[in-house]
């Protein structure tokens, strides 16, 4: 079963939609199908750039699309719940046992509270997920009600994700409106995720570089 088929699956789309709805009530930023597709295709692009086999690229896309389905169970330990849900769903498909375990393991390891990159698939998933920082992830509501997560994402006026093979470097370049959120607030929220990206890049034989407003941060 291919990524193009999987992203149309009704059951998976319902998991994603329900999880995103719950997170919206809890005050979290967008974790909709748009986020999942972005993560899937960015994870695939990362492995393609580093010249991994097409099969591994396909697994990364599949893992990326399903990585947040555990939010429909609970935000706490959503990575682990998502891995178990994904595993049960994949049993109904022609995805091999070996591929199923790889995908499940990557999904289970993508959250910074409990996970870490351990192979190329998990590294690509982490990099794709943690670098999805953009203004339009903030839900449509009154700015007076924004919490710190909302302000941090809304403050990002530009976000550019780049890979340089000659430099063996993966970069996230941000423009942040400091009238909306201070650099301190940004790093209070994102430093742990960016450090996770640094380890993930290392797994791929690259360095992770973060710049904000033209200054190198990491």
Place of tokens 């007076």: 144
Nearest to 2 by CA among 72, 69, 78, 54: 54
Nearest to 58 by CA among 8, 135, 6, 22: 6
Q: What pLDDT is attached to residue 150?
A: 87
Contacts of residue 43, defined as CB under 8 A and 6 or more positions apart, other chains included, come to 60, 61, 63, 64, 124, 125, 127, 128, 129
Residue 53 reports pLDDT greater than 80? yes
What does the block give as tokens for 130? Answer: 């943690």
Q: What pLDDT is attached to residue 169?
A: 97
Q: What pLDDT is attached to residue 44?
A: 98
pLDDT digit string, tens, across residues 105-157: 999 999 998 999 999 999 999 999 999 999 999 988 787 788 878 888 899 99
pLDDT digit string, tens, across residues 163-218: 999 999 999 999 999 999 888 888 888 888 999 999 999 999 999 999 999 888 77
Percent above pLDDT 70 for the chain: 100
Give the mean pLDDT of 64-73.
Answer: 98
Q: What pLDDT is attached to residue 151?
A: 87
Distance CA 135, CA 176 (A): 10
Nearest to 29 by CA among 154, 165, 159: 154
Q: What pLDDT is attached to residue 166?
A: 94
- Rounded to 5°, the CA angle 146-149-151 comes to 50
Pairing of strands 169-176, 207-212: parallel
Cβ atoms 162, 173 nearer than 8 A:
yes
β partners of residue 161:
172
Average pLDDT, the chain: 94
The neighbour count for residue 48, using CB atoms within 10 Å, is 16
Distance CA 209, CA 170 (A): 6
């Amino acid at each position: 079963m291919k990524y193009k088929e999987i992203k149309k699956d009704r059951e998976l789309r319902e998991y994603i939609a329900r999880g995103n709805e719950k997170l919206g009530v809890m005050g979290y930023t967008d974790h909709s199908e748009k986020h999942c597709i972005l993560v899937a295709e960015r994870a695939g692009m990362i492995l393609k750039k580093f010249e991994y086999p097409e099969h591994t690229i396909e697994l990364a896309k599949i893992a990326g699309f399903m990585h947040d389905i555990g939010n429909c169970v609970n935000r706490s330990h959503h990575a682990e719940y998502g891995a178990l849900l994904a595993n049960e769903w994949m049993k109904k498909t022609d995805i091999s046992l070996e591929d199923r375990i790889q995908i499940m393991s990557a999904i289970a390891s993508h959250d910074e509270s409990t996970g870490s990159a351990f192979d190329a698939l998990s590294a690509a998933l982490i990099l794709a997920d943690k670098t999805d920082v953009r203004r339009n992830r903030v839900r449509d509501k009154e700015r007076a009600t924004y919490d710190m997560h909302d302000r941090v994402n809304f403050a990002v006026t530009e976000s550019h994700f780049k890979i340089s093979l000659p430099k063996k470097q993966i970069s996230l370049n941000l423009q942040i409106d400091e009238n909306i959120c201070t650099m301190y607030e940004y790093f209070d929220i994102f430093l742990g995720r960016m450090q996770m990206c640094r380890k993930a890049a290392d797994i791929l034989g690259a360095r992770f570089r973060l710049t904000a407003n033209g200054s190198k941060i990491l």
